[in-house]
Amino acid sequence: MDDTHTDIERIVMRRVHLIRILQLVISTVVLAILTSGVALWGIGKEVWVANVFQNAPTTILDIPRFYFEAFTHTRFIVQVLTILTLVSLLFLTREVVRLAIITFRR
């Protein structure tokens, strides 16, 4: 009888911990997704993105310089939105990795 009680307790506590982790992660993941989505929408409104990709060089070595120059020669709002997008995508990646580590550790 004691073994059954400990198995049930272990299963219930695992579920409680999973729910708590999901509450913390989902809220931050949703915030990161919404932030990056709004920032990307703002970039799309300010910049003709298709032309940026069309004007990009074909050689791999010239691509970083091209995007750096494109970033520095654009308006301030586009620079802010680009940095906001990158930060929120990095934050989203961090949360997904943390969730994967927690999930596969058990």
Q: Which residues, 6+ apart, have CB-to-CB distance to 91 below 8 Å?
A: 28, 32
Residue 25 pLDDT exceeds 80: no
Domain count along the chain: 1
Query: pLDDT by residue (tens digit) across 47-73?
Result: 998 898 899 999 999 999 999 999 999
Query: pLDDT by residue (tens digit) across 70-98?
Result: 999 999 999 999 999 999 999 999 988 98
Integer CA distances (angstroms), 15 to 9, 26, 50, 103, in order? 10, 16, 47, 12
% pLDDT > 70, the chain: 94
How high is the pLDDT of residue 89? 93
Number of Cβ within a 10 Å radius of residue 3: 7
Q: Are 25 and 43 in contact (CB under 8 A)?
A: no
Per the structure, the complete domain to which residue 43 belongs is given by 2-105
